[in-house]
């Protein structure tokens, strides 16, 4: 199946040029990623064990080794604007096999957090937040399931925030503390109108 | 009887209630009582939520942990994704004082405090632990042997990986779940690349469904080669990806597998004499009939 990456034009152009320009490097990016990920991407010697272990690599242009390299060199824009950043299934195979004791999975998670701060985030992630904000669940109950639960002799609503919705308020307070719902709503509206 | 606060998560109670119901019943027969953890929420989803902000993920998971601390019970759960959030956040907050203080600052606004007084367990590891249940006790609880069936195991990722942070030993070729399948009378079957991810995690299922299904399809090809009657797992999200995923794979790729997918608790329930109705197996996307006909 032919698949396109949908890169922004500027990024496409930049990726075609493989030279490294000093002014594109942000050393503080390396430090921030290391702090957030509690890992040590600067130790990477680019052996490629991570990419070889990656379930996403054989079916896309996603290369985890490349992202660790970008972390090491401080190539912030290149890392955060690459749509492949979101193809990691977080299976941790690379982390278990890395001979340098780096956790590439956590490096990706840190980069995703930094991307979100720049509003770079696929909408489906935000929709999970919206669902949790409203119901407490990322995958909420539905009528088919309620009927099935009843048939099993169970309460149609599980004893979570579903049966005890008074707890949803606490969840909303936590999410609002970080203004996450506000930002999620804004970004979803910008993308989907 | 040991008591645990039962953390349900989302997909078991809201999509596969049979797995939830089977957990209470099978555990009780093995000397474990699962208590309701009132007001628990989504763990929250480590891939989807953690990708946005690990800081908020910590705080949200800590709220769930506080509910169990208030009950003074350890948490038991049946989902690898929940294990990643609940076990890992508990572990990290206990280890890093600075992190704990930050989280408690937020929890203060809802009159809660993370103290670090409980532990978190996957029900499958409690079942396997000889000091709590053990394989022999599982074997003794079997009423309807699953003899004559070939069953493959999917371990999933977030229970045992990353290996260095967890306590399960090898993640390259584990066999403890196979032992638990063997205890039910079934033949545990090895297949190529069994530790491969189901493809759903990290928000990829929502971000790029075809990509995620392509990973699932690779697993399905390997499972088909091994000629298994059913696949068992310990994670409702993997279950959703394999079960409903097979329908989506048929739509997108035009291949049909019809492989029944059962949570280990559902499988154990069958072996302990629960009926398919009691397990709500009719809610599964892929019919379990061919497998049931071999068993019942």
On the question of pLDDT at A15 being above 90, the answer is no
Average pLDDT, chain B: 98
Please give the ipTM for the structure prediction: 0.96
The per-residue pLDDT of chain A, averaged, comes to 94
The pLDDT of residue A11 is 74
Give me the mean pLDDT over the B158-168 stretch. 97
- Is the model's pLDDT at A53 over the cut of 90? yes
Is residue A5 very low, low, confident or very high in pLDDT (cuts 50, 70, 90)? low
Q: Domain residues of chain A, as ranges?
A: 9-117, 123-192
User: Given CB atoms, is A96 within the 8 Å cutoff of chain B?
Assistant: yes
Contacts A158 to B, Cβ<8 Å = 8, 13-14, 17, 20
Q: Is the pLDDT of residue A193 over 90?
A: no
Which of A125, A137, A180 lies at the smallest CB-CB distance from B48?
A125
- Judge whether A155 is closer than 8 Å to chain B, CB to CB: no
Residue A151 to chain B, least CA–CA distance (Å):
9
Of residues A121, A145, A174, nearest to B106 (C-beta): A174
CA torsion B172→B173→B174→B177, rounded to 10°? Answer: 120
Does residue A1 have a pLDDT over 70? no
Going A46 to A52 to A53 to A56, the CA torsion angle's sign is positive
Task: Compute the average pLDDT of residues B76-103.
Answer: 98
Average of per-residue pLDDT across B248-277: 98
CATH topology of domain A9-117: Fumarate Reductase Iron-sulfur Protein; Chain B, domain 2 (1.10.1060)
Average of per-residue pLDDT across B12-23: 98
Q: What number of residues does chain A have?
A: 193
For A135, the closest chain B residue by CA position comes to B41
Distance CA A126, CA B149 (A): 43
* pLDDT tens-digit readout, B123-151: 999 999 999 999 999 999 999 999 999 99
**Mean pLDDT of all residues in A94-110:** 98
High-pLDDT (> 70) share of chain B, %: 100
Task: Specify the pTM.
Answer: 0.95
Contact B49 A144 (CB under 8 A): no
Band (pLDDT 50/70/90 cuts) for residue B188 is: very high
pLDDT of residue B197: 98
Q: What is the mean pLDDT of residues A17-40?
A: 93
Residue B194, SS3 per DSSP: coil
Q: How confident is the model at residue A21 (pLDDT cuts 50, 70, 90)?
A: confident
CB contact under 8 A, B59 and A124: no
The pLDDT of residue A2 is: 38
Query: B41 at the A interface (CB within 8 A)?
Result: yes
Distance from CA of A75 to the nearest CA of B (A): 19
- Residue-wise DSSP of A14-68: HHH--PPPGGG--HHHHHHHHHHHTS-GGG-----HHHHH-SSGGGSS--HHHHH
CA distance A180 to A111: 18
Q: Please give the domain boundaries of chain B with CATH numbers for all domains.
A: 2-123 (1.20.1050.140), 134-295 (3.40.50.11810)
* Number of other residues whose CB lies within 10 A of the CB of residue A181: 17
Q: What angle do CA B51, B13, B137 make, to 5 degrees?
A: 105
Rounded to an integer, what is the distance from CA B79 to the centroid of its chain?
Answer: 3
Scanning every residue of chain B, which has its alpha carbon at the shortest distance from the alpha carbon of A165? B39
Q: Is A46 on the interface with B (CB under 8 A)?
A: no
B132 part of contact set with chain A, CB < 8 Å: no
CA distance B173 to A180: 40
Give the full edge-to-edge strand order of the sheet including B2-7. Answer: B32-36, B2-7, B75-77, B120-122
């Amino acid at each position: 199946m032919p698949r396109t990456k949908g890169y922004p034009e500027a990024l496409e152009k930049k990726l075609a040029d493989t030279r490294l320009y000093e002014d594109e490097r942000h050393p503080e990016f390396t430090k921030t990623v290391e702090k957030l990920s509690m890992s040590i991407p600067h130790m990477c010697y680019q052996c490629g064990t991570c990419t070889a272990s990656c379930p996403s690599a054989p079916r896309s242009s996603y290369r985890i080794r490349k992202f660790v390299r970008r972390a090491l060199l401080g190539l912030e824009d290149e890392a955060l604007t690459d749509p492949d950043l979101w193809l990691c299934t977080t299976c941790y195979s690379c982390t278990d096999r890395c001979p340098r004791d780096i956790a590439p999975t956590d490096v990706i998670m840190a980069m995703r957090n930094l991307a979100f701060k720049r509003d770079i985030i696929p909408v489906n992630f935000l929709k999970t937040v919206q669902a949790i904000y409203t119901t407490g669940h990322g995958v909420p109950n539905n009528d088919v399931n309620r009927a099935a639960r009843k048939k099993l002799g169970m309460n149609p609503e599980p004893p979570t925030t579903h049966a005890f919705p008074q707890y949803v308020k606490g969840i909303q307070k936590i999410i609002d503390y970080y203004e996450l719902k506000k930002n999620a709503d804004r970004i979803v509206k910008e993308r989907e109108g | 009887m040991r008591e645990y606060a039962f953390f349900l998560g989302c997909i078991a109670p809201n999509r596969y209630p049979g797995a939830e119901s089977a957990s209470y019943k099978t555990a009780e027969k093995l000397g474990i009582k699962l208590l309701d953890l009132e007001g628990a929420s989504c763990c929250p989803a480590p891939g989807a939520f953690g990708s946005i902000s690990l800081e908020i993920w910590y705080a949200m998971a800590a709220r769930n942990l506080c509910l169990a601390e208030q009950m003074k019970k350890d948490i038991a759960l049946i989902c690898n994704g929940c294990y990643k959030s609940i076990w890992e956040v508990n572990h990290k907050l206990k280890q890093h004082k600075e992190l704990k203080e930050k989280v408690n600052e937020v929890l203060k606004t809802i009159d809660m405090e993370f103290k670090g007084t409980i532990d978190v367990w996957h029900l499958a590891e409690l079942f396997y632990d000889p000091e709590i249940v053990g394989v022999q006790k599982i074997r003794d609880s079997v009423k309807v042997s699953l003899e004559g069936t070939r069953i493959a195991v999917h371990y999933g990722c977030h229970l045992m990986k990353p290996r260095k942070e967890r306590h399960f030993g090898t993640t390259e070729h584990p066999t403890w779940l196979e032992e638990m399948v063997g205890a039910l009378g079934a033949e545990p079957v090895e297949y190529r690349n069994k530790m491969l991810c189901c493809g759903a995690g990290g928000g990829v299922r929502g971000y790029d469904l075809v990509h995620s299904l392509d990973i699932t399809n690779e697993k399905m090809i390997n499972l088909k080669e091994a000629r298994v009657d059913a696949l068992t797992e310990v994670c409702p999200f993997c279950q959703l990806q394999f079960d409903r995923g097979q329908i989506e794979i048929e739509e997108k790729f035009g291949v049909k597998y019809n492989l029944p997918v059962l949570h280990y608790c559902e499988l154990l329930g069958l072996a302990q004499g629960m009926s398919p109705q009691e397990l709500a197996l009719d809610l599964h996307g892929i019919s379990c009939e061919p497998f049931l006909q071999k068993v019942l």
